[in-house]
Chains A and B, each alone.
Chain A
Amino acid sequence: MGVFYALTVLTALEIGVIYLPIGKLAIGIMLVGLALSKAILVAMYFMHLKFEKRTIGIIALTPLVLCTLLIFALLPDLTATPHHSAAAGAGEHQAEEH
């Protein structure tokens, strides 16, 4: 049950990492790395993915790739500040009325 011990240790590490006195980005990268390691362990050994045909692995990996792309696709929508477009919209509306 080495996988179980590894998962327990990785979980403990995750909790420890958030209290480290380093920058948020470094903590974030380490947390994502730890979480992915745990996810890969569960998938490979508990779900037996290591011993299945490679195409099943591709089926399993696809959501991860697509969701990562989704995050990057959504970022421009939500990190842009809205006040420019609101002012432009009001300006256009004024021009149309006259």
Chain B
Amino acid sequence: MSQAIASQHVVDPAESPLTPESWGKLGMWIFLAADAMSFGALLAGYGALRAGATDWPNPSQVLGISLTAFMTFLLICSSVTMVKGLSAIRHGNRAGMRNYLLLTMLGGAIFLGLQAYEWTHLIHGLGIGFTSNPFGNHLFGTTFFAITGFHGAHVTGGVIYLAIVVLNGMRGKYSADNFNGVELVGLYWHFVDLIWILVFTFVYLL
């Protein structure tokens, strides 16, 4: 039996078939695809519920569009600082990478603060809750808080993930030859930004 196994052609385990330079990259992309399905399920459910309801409030009138537009712009800027951070470490610039990643974390943290402020205004100021809503269909609040809350949890996780990468970077883990860890956190962060772009359009604007 061992002879049969020995004669089989074994794939070299060092390289992933699609992303030869990094197993982590393939893993992260697959995870992001699965995560996209989670968000997609929430958004599809939201779309179906809204399509079937007659008393759904108009989001652009109830929600704060200008604040959310700024939040969208903020996340886009944080994605840019993330790109610059990766570029810095690819050129061996450790301090640059640390600074740009700290800026990215700052963007995420401010986004979360603004999201918390918006939620407080909606819950205490306007009385829109998870199960009740004076503007119309109760599910408006349910779907809004579920989707933005799920996204906010991802941003929080992303800020923590970035902190870990920054700490590792300060211990000298990354260099021009070893930047895979930074690339991976970048993929996750851009994904969070991308999801927000879709959430902003479907929940706030449409």
Q: Which residues of A contact B (CB under 8 A)?
A: 1, 4, 7-8, 11, 14-15, 17-18, 27-28, 31-32, 34-35, 38-39, 42-43, 46-47, 52-53, 55-56, 59-60, 62-64, 66-67, 70-71, 74-75, 77-79
- Looking at the complex, which one of B36, B65, B76 makes contact with A4 (CB distance below 8 Å)? B76
Which residues 75-132 of B have a CB within 8 angstroms of A? 76-77, 79-80, 82-83
Q: Quick check: A79 and B51 within 8 Å, CB to CB?
A: yes
Interface residue? B147 (CB, 8 A): no
Provide the main secondary structure of the chain B interface: helix
Besides the known contacts A34-B201, A35-B200, A46-B79, 10 further A-B residue pairs in the complex with CB atoms under 8 A apart: A4-B76, A4-B77, A8-B73, A14-B205, A15-B65, A15-B205, A42-B190, A47-B191, A63-B36, A78-B48
Beta-carbon nearest neighbor of B188 in chain A: A47
Contact between chains at A11 and B37 (CB < 8 Å): no
Number of interchain pairs (Cβ within 8 Å): 108
- Kindly state whether residue B163 has any CB partner on chain A within 8 Å: no
Please determine whether A39 and B198 come into contact, CB atoms closer than 8 angstroms.
Answer: yes
Which among B18, B37, B72, B80 is the interface contact of A53 at CB below 8 angstroms?
B18
Judge whether B33 is part of the interface by a CB distance below 8 angstroms: yes
Interface of A, secondary structure class, is: helix
With a cutoff of 8 Å between Cβ atoms, the chain B residues found around residue A31 in the complex are: 201, 205-206
List the 5 closest pairs (A to B, CB-CB), nearest first.
A78-B52, A67-B40, A74-B48, A63-B36, A35-B201
Please give the number of chain B residues whose Cβ is less than 8 angstroms from any Cβ of chain A in the complex: 43
> Residue-by-residue, is B188-206 near A (CB-CB < 8 Å gives 1, otherwise 0)?
0011011001101110011
B-side residues, CB < 8 A to A, are 18-19, 26, 29-30, 32-33, 36-37, 40-41, 43-45, 47-49, 51-52, 60, 65, 69, 72-73, 76-77, 79-80, 82-83, 186-187, 190-191, 193-194, 197-198, 200-202, 205-206
